Structure 1
Amino acid sequence: MKMKTKSTLMLTALIGLSISSCKKEKFVELNTDPTIVNQITPEQQFMNSVINMHADRFEAYYDNFRAIMPWMQMTTPLNGNAVTFISDAASFRNVRYGNFYPKVGGNLTDMEDLVKKLSAEEQAKRVFQVEIAHIVKAYYAFYVSDVTGSLPYTEAFLVRSGGTETPKYDTQEVLFDLLDAQLKTAVTTLNSTPPVAQSSLGTNDLFYQGNISNWIKVANSTRLRMAMRLMKRNPDKMKAKVLEILAAPGGLINAAAESWVFKANATYADGGDWSALNLRAPKPVVDFMYNNSDPRIRFFYQENTFTQANFTTAKTQNKIPAAATFDTRRFYGVPTSPDVSAAPAFANFLNNISISVVNGTGQTVNQPMDSLSMLQPRLFAAGENGGKGINAFPLITYADVCFMRAELAARGVTTESAQDWYNKGVAASVAFYDDLANKAQIIDRTGTLSYVAVNATEVTTYMNKTDIKFDAGRALDQIIGQAYLNFFKQPSEAWALYKRTGMPNSSTILKLEKLVASGTEQTIPRRAALAIPSITNLNYQNIVAAYRTMQADPDFGQGPSDITGRVWWDKK
């Protein structure tokens, strides 16, 4: 089948920005077969790159569900975290690094090379396309470096065009400046009036269908996120960058419709390694959300199975005492500390009963009565349990930008209103997850559709709760707590937030547990373990040199594999 036909089929499947998994797999061929690259257009290669940013199921399974989310107390296994859950999570695979070389960065470089092979007239029409590719490439390089530190970038991806097979590494400090400059240049170019009309990426742009205004806002918003990583390492530089970015032409993401979110149909992430099944809701977060009437709680988690009907049946069948009182609270989480979840008090709570019920086929079966809530599986894999909804992979949302601006104002970096941006952020986050839950077609524990839209009264009630209503004396604490909740679908950003601010923690408004295993408080990992190269690795010398440079920083840790060590921006 010719690539043009493949692309046509792909675009047909992309109605409503949805991608079928079978077409996704076909496009993966382009990553490994260099003879195919010259058979496609730059626009198609851009789309291929975007698909590969989110396509690896191992990132969901190993990096998110089994590592970052347990570390950040965003989920636990069924019976709570094991004593060894920190060390077990060293299986964090840093899939993003493997995606960057060559599936994302490599393909975006190929796209630019394809443009260079066109006539001068055609090249002139694709100046904006190339700058959009630079924005995506810069963002993903930042995303990789965020947990690995130094990366080959300036000399990388050039083998097909005659470049080196042994690229040197750029330090994270240098890389941050390079990426910021690249994004700034993209904004300047996209804001200019070119001498010839520009060819749009159109439907090959799975984010914005070629909308230039939105890409400018993405570039500026990415610069802001990167600048805030400098908070501990170089606060003066951070402030200068922030003020420059806030004044940059084109502005930041400033509305929900402008949010940078990749959307795909149900078969793109339909269970398996994408699955959040059998992952429990965490007690600290569930308690905070429940006690404050957070509308998002029903989108993040599923209610337990103690319905009024099941409770009554259990009484009738003598499974619970006749004097038992029905508990109207249906959201309960698991303690995140291994020692707490292993304690008798929780073990007794976990003991479930079964009742006999008649199922849909008329058969009498045993149904467990589960006291605890689970993560909402379709929020992470819309194809779970036969779902037909939409998957969403947020990169930078309007709510993200609101909370960044609120934090910067609360810290006195800007003169904006922290209260105004905080209130906008909370409202935007609630609306964002309301929309996601609706489109993902979330379900209850029986597999029945369970989406209930948020209403204005719920939002007002939530915003007036003591711990939620803006309090200038607790502003930073409140802002960080809400940003953390907002990152439920972006666990890597929740992790970065914790590393940058130390919040939330056991003393903040949103109180997380101290993670204690066998009486010892655990140290939360702070970066990916870096692979030790084989002496036969073609780039062995540059890799070792990069590791030595990073290890010169005492915060780097005991060696490349030390996941409690830190990357450059994460200064103690």
Structure 2
Amino acid sequence: MKFKYIFSSALIFAAMTTGCIDKFSDINTDPSVVDKADVRFLFTKALADFEPSKYQQWYYNNNRYTMPWSQALVAQDGNLPEMNEVAEWEGQTSQLYNVMSSTEEIIYLVSKVYDAETASKYQHIQALCAPLKVYMGMFATDMYGSTPYTEAFKARYTYPPLLKPKYDTMEELFNTWLGELDNSLNTLQTVDAKSQIQLNNQDFIYKGNITKWAKMINSLKLKIAVRMLHVDKPRALKIAEEVMANQAGVMTTHEDDFIYNKGSEDYHFWDDIRFGAGSKNLIDFLVENKDPRVRFFFQKNDFNSKVVQAFFDVNKKLPSYIDEKVEFEVVDGKKVFKGWKAPGEPWVRYHGAPVSVEARFDQAIKDNYFTPDSFKITIGGVTKQYMPMALYNQEMIQGGETYVFPDAPNVPATEDNLKCAWFGLFMSSAEVNLYLAELKLLGANLPGTAQEYFTAGIKESVTVMDKMAASNKVPYYSSVYDDNEATIKLKSGEIDNLLDNEAYQLTGSAADQLEKVYIQQYVHLLSSPTDMFATVRRSGIPMRNSKYLAWEEFRGSDYLLPRRFPVNRPDLSDIMADISSAAYEAQGYTMGDKEAATLNTERVWFDFGAPNFGEGPNF
């Protein structure tokens, strides 16, 4: 009886004091403690974590694998026979989950925590979570396939905590993403912006401009559509038609582009990367057509007129492809640099290397491209080595790089050590227009012609890449070091002249036209290697025996390349081991297998039915 009395008294006391306790809790909260995050700041955090191009991604995945496999880059020492073997590589799902850490909190706060009146003011911000997740989702899965998504990051919001999320298949993911983008668009189009909390500068991409966000979201559906062409072509074409019918519109000019800059002191990353040189076929294609983008994607080689003269002074042989571009005269028995032959500066400074894995074992080729001593001279007791090929332009990737202007060995170094903020390009009107050209050629009922989309894609690509080079303060952009060289910035009339070239016009057979579109996608996406590799797999471009941009055999047609990255066998201590293993097996993957033959045939879902490397389009 005594216990019952005490218990009853306690209940009465609790009932009487609950309100007091709640009020005391509110009053006695430390004002410095934030118990509910500001949704605007969470969105900024999601943007700050939106990073599909961090250091490890460039060091391993891009520079070592996808770009050489795509025949865009060649190792500075020449490609090795084992270049098709995957050693170390960087996973790509962590970048997605870094973004979801903030977006899922936003969604939870707005949909579950805030009262109805407060939540109604954050509908636009909640809607803007979708494009960040979808873009990063494609990045995460392009090289791996299935991944946890719909049940990911639910542990903190569920009871009991959902600690073992299911893997969504790539087909399921595409459906989910299309639905999320549609819902996002609907919210932006039906909820009055005046009723919404504004992001303004908390959104460092579009400054809260909902019209531009809507265009980007609608355009992002095309990125999904082109990946579906080999597995569900009718639906892919229908998606394109729906996109063009949507009142949101699409990204049409570089003013709509998703240009990424966190702030004045964000240099992207500091660690150096030994970037490869452009492939000979790619550089030759760009230079022969006088495509200005070669000057933005690639760095001038070291052989300016000062270095050429230094080689003359010590009677050192120049690489043949440089020597044939030099005008000289003989004065007192010595060669004196006189000028550059056609096409002149800056074009004569861009040379690529052969991609064949056997090239470095041919002594003549090796000495011309890959033997360091061939490019090394000594003057005044000072020895210096020079790079004859055009390397991938590191200053387009890093804002804190120091560039040393090439000169004779005994001349004190002049440096460009300007530290500038990094600007990256992740989604663009050029990409969108080139997808529309592809989809139009493949049968989509779109309002414009394939030629119109194609021309717009090229114009916008050149324009925005020039803009990126200017923003990143790339050496030689608007000033020169050597009196005999030219700046690299876009010149008046260059785009019009470029469009006069056959490879830049949709003429010829249907197959020719499609190849031309894919070549332009390939070139434009040189700054987004994961997307570029997706295009290479989808299209079979570069193509063997092409009269525009030909695929060069690495070592014969039996030399296989991976089409995805390996998946490791999960550790038995991992609580997700069974789920992960089942997901890999369902995709037909051999866990732990890094062999090129395995990674070539065991493909991600959207890659089924796509042409083999070098075969060209197979629609």
TM-score category of the 2 structures, normalised to the smaller one: 0.7 to 0.9
Q: Give me the whole-angstrom Cα distance separating, in 1, the residues matched to 2:143 and 2:458.
A: 27
- The aligned counterpart of 2:363 is 344
Count of residues in Structure 1 that have an aligned counterpart in Structure 2 = 524
8 A Cα contact 2:144 2:564, kept in partner: yes
Confirm or deny: 8 A CA contact 1:75 1:279 kept in the other structure: yes
Matched ranges for 1:316-395 at <5 A: 316-320=313-317, 322=334, 328=341, 329-350=348-369, 351=371, 352-356=374-378, 365-385=382-402, 386-395=417-426
Which residue of 2 is the match for residue 23 of structure 1? none
Q: Relative to structure 1, is the Cα distance of residues 179 and 458 closer, same or farther in structure 2, using a 3 angstrom cutoff?
A: same
Give the Cα separation in 1 of the matches to 2:546 and 2:464.
25
Alignment of 1:531 onto 2:568 = yes
Structure 1 distance, partners of 2:235, 2:193, is 36
Which one has a larger percent helix, Structure 1 or Structure 2? Answer: 1
Q: Contact between 1:285 and 1:510, CA under 8 Å: does it hold in 2? A: no
Is 1:52 the counterpart of 2:84? The answer is no
2:311 maps to 1:314: yes
Contact preservation (8 Å) 1:378, 1:442: yes
Amino acid at match of 1:382: G
Matched, 1:499 2:505: no
Is the aligned partner of 1:108 residue 2:103? yes
Change (3 A) 1:277 1:201: same
Superposition deviation, residue 83 in structure 1? 1.2
> Alpha-carbon deviation of 1:348?
2.3
1:439 aligns with 2:458: no
Distance change (3 Å), C-alpha of 1:154 and 1:304:
closer
Query: 1:453 Cα shift?
Result: 2.0
Relative to structure 1, the CA distance from residue 409 to residue 560 in structure 2 (aligned partners, 3 Å threshold; closer, same or farther) is: same
d(CA) in 2 for partners of 1:242, 1:472: 25
Aligned pairs for 1:96-495 (under 5 A) are 96-101=92-97, 103-115=98-110, 116-162=112-158, 163-194=161-192, 197-265=195-263, 267-269=265-267, 272-273=270-271, 275-320=272-317, 322=334, 328=341, 329-350=348-369, 351=371, 352-356=374-378, 365-385=382-402, 386-415=417-446, 416-443=448-475, 452-473=488-509, 474-495=512-533
Once residues 558 and 316 of structure 2 are traced to their aligned partners in structure 1, the CA distance between those partners, rounded to angstroms, is 39
CA gap 1:191/1:334 in 2 versus in 1, 3 angstroms: same
Say which SS state the counterpart of residue 587 (structure 2) adopts: helix
**2:278–2:352 contact (8 Å) kept in structure 1:** yes
- Name the aligned partner's letter for residue 570 of structure 2: P
2:392 is matched by which residue type in structure 1? L
Distance 1:495 1:37 in 2: 44
> Once superposed, what is the RMSD of the aligned Cα atoms?
2.8
Please tell me whether Structure 1 or Structure 2 has the larger radius of gyration of its CA atoms: 2
SS state at 2:148 partner: coil
246-255 or 311-320, larger mean C-alpha shift: 311-320
Please, which of 84, 87, 94 is the counterpart of residue 86 of structure 1?
84
Asked if structure 1 preserves the Cα contact closer than 8 Å seen for 2:429 and 2:460, the reply is: yes
Distance in 1 between residues matched to 2:46 and 2:379, nearest whole Å: 50
Q: SS state of the match for residue 516, structure 1? A: coil
Taking the aligned partners of 1:521 and 1:514, their CA distance within structure 2 comes to 13
Cα offsets for 1:125-167 (capped at 9, x unmatched): 0011101012211222232122221121121111111241111
In structure 2, relative to structure 1, the CA distance for the partners of 1:74 and 1:389 (3 Å cut) is farther
For 1:559 and 1:369, the matched residues in 2 are separated by 41
With structure 1 as the length reference, what TM-score do the two structures score?
0.85
Q: Could you tell me whether the CA contact under 8 Å between 2:237 and 2:443 is conserved in 1?
A: no
Cα distance, 1:196 vs. partner? 7.0
1:522 maps to: 559
Structure 2 counterpart of 1:491, which letter? P
Report if aligned partners of 1:131, 1:189 keep a CA contact under 8 Å in 2. yes
Distance across 2 between alignment mates of 1:484 and 1:448:
32
List per-residue Cα deviations over 1:165-202 (Å, max 9, x = no partner): 11111111111111101101111111003497100122
Question: Residues 352-402 of structure 1: CA distance to partner in whole angstroms, max 9, x if unpaired?
Answer: 2444568xxxxx733334322222210111211133334233221010011
After TM superposition, the score normalised by the length of structure 2 is 0.79
User: Offset at 1:480?
Assistant: 0.8
Q: Which residue of 2 aligns with 1:21?
A: none
* Secondary structure in 1 matching 2:599: coil
Q: SS at the partner of 1:218?
A: helix
CA, structure 1 residues 312+196, in 2 after alignment: closer, same or farther (shift >3 Å)?
closer
Percent identical residues: 23
Change (3 A) 1:472 1:252: farther
C-alpha deviation, 1:257, in angstroms: 0.9
The residue type paired with residue 398 of structure 1 is S
CA distance in 2, matches of 1:39, 1:147: 37
Per the alignment, do residues 264 and 72 of structure 1 end up closer, same or farther by CA in structure 2, a change over 3 Å counting? farther
1:22-33 map, 5 Å? none
Q: Secondary structure, in 3 states, of the residue corresponding to 1:437? A: helix
The 1-side partners of 2:286 and 2:454 are apart by 17
SS at match of 2:504: coil
Q: Contact (CA 8 Å) 1:379, 1:440: kept in 2 or not?
A: yes
Per the alignment, residue 6 of structure 1 pairs with none
Worse overlay, 441-450 or 521-530 = 441-450
Structure 1 unaligned blocks of 5 or more: 1-34, 359-363
Cα distance in structure 1, aligned partners of 2:474 and 2:292: 14
Instruction: Give CA deviations for 1:470-527 in whole Å, capped at 9, x if unaligned.
Output: 314321111111111000101111111111111122333443443424x674322212
- Does the CA contact (< 8 Å) of 2:279 and 2:353 recur in 1? yes
Q: Which moved more, 1:152-161 or 1:498-507?
A: 498-507
